[in-house]
A and B are shown apart, each in its own frame.
Chain A
Amino acid sequence: MDNTVEVRGLVKTLNGFRLEADLDIPEGYIVGLIGENGAGKTTLIKCITGINRVDSGSVRIMGRPDGIRETGDVGIVFDDCHFFPAMNGRNLDKLMGRMFGNWDSGRFAVLMERFQIPMDKKIKEYSRGMRMKVQAAVALSHDPRVLILDEATAGMDPAARDEFLDVVLEYMRDGTRSVIMSSHITSDLEKVADYIVFIHQGRILMNAPKDDILDSYGLAKGPENSVRMIGDDIVAFRKDEYGACALVADRRGVAEAFPELVVDPASLEDIMVMIIRGGRP
C-alpha cells in the first residue's frame, strides 16, 4: 500500500506545547483526526502542509523529498476562509486557474452550483457554511492527491454536512486519493473514515482502523467495586452517580469475564470523552 503522506519523527514546539507524531496516510483511504481542543490536530495539519516549520522530523507528500511540494498536490479546507472578501466565485475561478496547472473551471462551476453559491456573490457576503463550501469547491477543482479537511463541516447544517460528505466520498472513488479529516463531529467520521488517529496532549494515542476500534472498544458499567475488578484492561475510568464506567479495549472479553457488568459498544465520542475526562482507576 502506498502512502500519500508520511510523517516521521515530527516534533513541533509551540508556546510551551509539544507535538510529536509518526503516521502514514495511505493511498485510497480516509483518515479521521480526533482530539480535544488544543490536542495538536491543527498543528499537525499545519506541519504537514508547510504552514508551520517543524523542529525536527520529516514530512513527505507523494513520495517527494521532505519539504518539497508541487502546487496542487494538496487541497485543503480550513475552519477559517483565507480567500479575499472582495472576490467572488468568478474572480476565484480566474485566480485559481492561474495558480493550478490542472484547474478545472467546469468542475468548479458545477460544485458551486451544487453547493448553491452564486458565482457573482462576494465572499464577504457569504455565511460561515458558504465559506467552508467555497473552499471545498476550490480544493476539489484542481484534482489534489491529498484532501485535508480541518473542521470543514463545523458550522454546516446536517443536510449540508451530508451533501459535503457525499462530495468527499465521490472524490475518493478512484481509489488513488487520500483524505485527512479533522473533526469534532465524530458521527461524520464514523460514517466515512477508514482509519482513526486520536491525538491527545500532543501525542498520538490511537492509530487504527475505525471498524476495529468500534468493534473492540466498549463501556463497562456497573457498581464501582465491580467495575474496578476489570483491572489492567481498563483504558479509562469514571465514577458517576450510579456507580462507575470504564472504557475497555476488548469489550467482548470483558463482557464474558464480568457478566454482571453492562458492556456496551463505545462510539468514537465515548472513547474521546472517557480518555480526555476519565482517569486511571
Chain B
Amino acid sequence: MNALIWKDMFLMRNGLLYIAVFAVVFSAIFNDAGVMCIVSSVIFSSVANSSISMDDMCRWDVFATSSGISRKAIVRSKFMVGLVFVLIGTVIGMAMSLMIGTYSGNMDLPGTIQMGATGFVLAYLVNSLNIAVTYYTGDSTKSQYVSMVVMILSIVVLVSTTLIASEVLDNMVPILAVLIVACAAMVMGSYKVSCARYASRDL
C-alpha cells in the first residue's frame, strides 16, 4: 500500500499547486474565515477521485492485481490518499483563515481550529462518498458527474448548516462531536461498499 500511496502522490504532485491556487481563490469568494476552511478541504477531497481516473486511463489496476496486490489494498490506498489531500486542504484553509483574521484584526484561533476540524471531517466524508460512487459505478468517467453533484450539494449543505449552527450555538464542539461520529460511520460504510464492489468485478 505504501507503493500505491507514493504513486498517487508522485503523479498528482504537479496538479497540487493548481488545486491549491483554485482552493484559495474559490474559498476567498465566501469572505468568511470559517467557510474558507471547509471549502478548501472539500476542494482537495476531489483529488483521490482524480487518482482513480488516472489509474483507469492506463488500467493500472490490471497490472497491480496481476502482480499480487490485493484489491482491498488498492481501495484502502485511495482512502489513505484522500486523507492526505484533505489534510493538505484543511491546513491551507486554516492558514488562509488565520491570515485573513490577522489582517482584519479578528483572529480567532480556537474558532479556526474548530472550523478546520469540521472542514476536515466533512471533506473526508465527501471524499469517501465520491470514492464509493466511483467504485460502485465501476467507471471513473461516468462517476465524475455524480461526484461533482455530490461535492457541490455537500458544500452548499455543509456551509449553510455550519453558518446556521454557528449563529445558534456559541460553541462548535457539540456539533463537531456529532459530525465526527456520523461521518466515521459513513466513511466505514463507503469503504466497505467500495471493497465489495471492486472485489466482485472483472478488471
Stretch of B3-11, B37-45, B90-98, B183-191 with 4 or more beta carbons under 8 angstroms from chain A: B3-11
Contact check: which of B58, B65, B69, B200 meets A83 at CB < 8 Å? B58
> What chain A residues lie within 8 Å of B11 (beta carbons)?
84, 86-87
Known: A76-B63, A95-B6, A98-B6. A84 touches B68 (CB 8 A): no
Interface size range of chain A in the complex: 20 to 34
Can you list, as one digit per residue, whether each of A57-87 has a CB less than 8 Å from chain B (1) or not (0)?
Answer: 0000000000001111111101011111111
Known: A14-B202, A51-B62, A99-B3. A84 touches B54 (CB 8 A): yes
Inter-chain contact A51/B68, CB cutoff 8 Å: no
> What chain B residues lie within 8 Å of A86 (beta carbons)?
11
Inter-chain contact A84/B202, CB cutoff 8 Å: no
Contact check: which of A53, A74, A82 meets B59 at CB < 8 Å? A82
| A50, A72, A91, A94 pick with most chain B CB within 10 angstroms | A50
Q: Which residue of A is nearest B6, CB measured?
A: A98
List residues of B (153-203) whose CB comes within 8 Å of A's CBs.
Answer: 200-203
| In the complex, A267 has a CB within 8 A of chain B | no
Inter-chain contact B63/A82, CB cutoff 8 Å: yes
Q: Which residue of B is nearest A47, CB measured?
A: B202
| In the complex, A56 has a CB within 8 A of chain B | no
Q: How many interface residues does B have (CB within 8 Å)? A: 22
Inter-chain contact B68/A70, CB cutoff 8 Å: yes
Q: Which residue of B is nearest A82, CB measured?
A: B63
Inter-chain contact A91/B10, CB cutoff 8 Å: yes
Inter-chain contact B201/A99, CB cutoff 8 Å: no
Summarize B's interface: helix, strand, loop or mixed: helix
C-alpha gap A75/B63 in the complex (Å):
9
Known: A14-B202, A98-B6. A51 touches B60 (CB 8 A): no
C-alpha gap A78/B60 in the complex (Å):
12
Inter-chain contact A74/B203, CB cutoff 8 Å: no
Inter-chain contact A69/B62, CB cutoff 8 Å: no
> What chain B residues lie within 8 Å of A91 (beta carbons)?
10
| In the complex, B67 has a CB within 8 A of chain A | yes
C-alpha gap A102/B7 in the complex (Å):
18
List residues of A (9-56) whose CB comes within 8 Å of B's CBs.
Answer: 14, 46, 49-53
Q: Which residue of A is nearest B60, CB measured?
A: A82
Nearest CB in chain A: distance from B77 CB, A: 11
Nearest CB in chain B: distance from A74 CB, A: 6
Contact check: which of B54, B60, B68 meets A71 at CB < 8 Å? B68
Inter-chain contact B3/A69, CB cutoff 8 Å: no
> What chain A residues lie within 8 Å of B7 (beta carbons)?
84, 95
List residues of B (1-25) whose CB comes within 8 Å of A's CBs.
Answer: 2-3, 6-7, 10-11
| In the complex, B104 has a CB within 8 A of chain A | no
Contact check: which of A14, A74, A85, A94 meets B68 at CB < 8 Å? A74
Nearest CB in chain A: distance from B196 CB, A: 13
Known: A95-B6, A98-B3. A51 touches B65 (CB 8 A): yes
C-alpha gap A80/B69 in the complex (Å):
19
> What chain B residues lie within 8 Å of A72 (beta carbons)?
67-68
Sampled A-B contacts (21; CB under 8 Å): A46-B203, A50-B66, A51-B62, A51-B66, A53-B202, A73-B68, A74-B67, A75-B67, A76-B63, A78-B62, A78-B63, A82-B58, A82-B62, A84-B58, A85-B58, A86-B11, A95-B10, A96-B3, A99-B3, A99-B64, A148-B66
Residues of chain B having any CB pair with chain A under 8 Å: 2-3, 6-7, 10-11, 54, 58-60, 62-69, 200-203
Residues of chain A having any CB pair with chain B under 8 Å: 14, 46, 49-53, 69-76, 78, 80-87, 91, 94-96, 98-100, 148
